[in-house]
Amino acid sequence: MHFPPAPPVRYDTYRSKTLRGVQMKRSRILILLCLGVASLSAVIAAQQNVPPVPPVMAAKPNPGSVVPRPDNAMPKVPAAFTVELFADNVPNARMMVYAPNGDLFVSEPSQNAVVILRSSTKNGLPDQRFTFEQGTPPQRGRGGQGRGAAPAASNGEMTQPFGLAFHEGYLYVGNTNSLVRYKYKTGDTKASGPPEKLADLSGFGNHSTRNVLFSRDGKKLYVSVGSLNNIDEQGTGNEHRAMIQEYNPDGTGFRVFASGLRNPVGLALQPGTNTVWTAVNERDNLGDDTPPEYTTSVKDGGFYGWPYSYIGGHVDSRVPQKEPDLVKRAIVPDVLIPAHSAPLGIAFYTGSQFPQHYRNGLFVALHGSWNRSTTNGAKVIFIPFQNGKPGAVEDFLTGFVVDPQKNDKWGRPVGVTVTPDGSVLVSDDGGNRIWRIRYKG
């Protein structure tokens, strides 16, 4: 805005008083202008349904440590629930899926293996173990979620396997660098032959997890692929990263189902619908509380902001804004989760053992933070649903954190699976365990 020059002032005893008056008027005008712009921005944000987020601050990374389980330590669950150790010594236990005969298949990325836990006991605890398939033992590099050894050439061999799904006589596996399937007949304890490679996936850099999910009618297969790095565009082109991909069951028909998802990991179908849900790890180095992570329903063809913006239209000033029109249509996620808590596996509760409050609600495993000063995550949360809409986040499985200031914990949840009897299993790759939660009433 242009300000008119101050009126002439005589050089006498009133000079300073008059100048102060002019300056005060100018200051008031500037304040009003700023308030007007702020109000207009708030109106626009409200119209676009973009929630406020904490301001950008200096990053305070705190990797912390996974420490031995303290004596007699157990996870904590809500009243009327019980938690027990389902399986121990399951190295790097991550995603889990039940086979048609009730065997539990578990991916072990650090071992390049998929193992089977089988139970012949009345209490349902596994008493037999088999290795369904194991690739070449990995040469370990930098540790941590999403930062393992560089994968071998993509020939279909098991390489950091993560997501698992059964479909029409096959076990589908999401390796970090390939989508494959193995022939499977009920009761198999070992792969009967080499895998059929359906697609190459980009498997270098950060964010190694590749989850898999079939549509309800079984005609489409969804694969989640995280970004190559924190915020820049590298990897969004021919590498097809930071997105959920779609295929036919035989690996043909590739297309981008949704994009702008920095690191989508968990995949699940909302009960009674064909709606895909995912859990996403948002970007780092914007402070302890910015931006939130999230879990959300996924719209076909939707764009969710990465790398240009987060949580709708909150622009990341570190990234050249090459696609402003794309940012304008960035979708706001359904449920925000505290920053840097690293949501991984998700599962809707489709059993009948738990009370009504939990029916069709969503469990989300939070692996735990490293890019903030104190601990976020290292627990399982629950999101109740009413009339198909999510409610407020609740803690469900906690007690793994020993010292939040040091970010020390003795367990790190990864996968969540509903058992055939309606219990819930949670894999813990920090403690190499699987936990079972049951409702006792």
- Supply the pLDDT for residue 204: 74
Structure tokens that stand for 187 in this block: 């009761």
- Supply the pLDDT for residue 140: 57
What is the model's pTM? 0.87
- Supply the pLDDT for residue 238: 59
What residues of the chain score a pLDDT lower than 70? Answer: 1-48, 139-153, 233-238
Per-residue pLDDT tens over the stretch 44-78: 344 357 899 999 999 999 999 999 999 999 999 99
- Supply the pLDDT for residue 237: 57
- Supply the pLDDT for residue 49: 75
- Supply the pLDDT for residue 48: 57
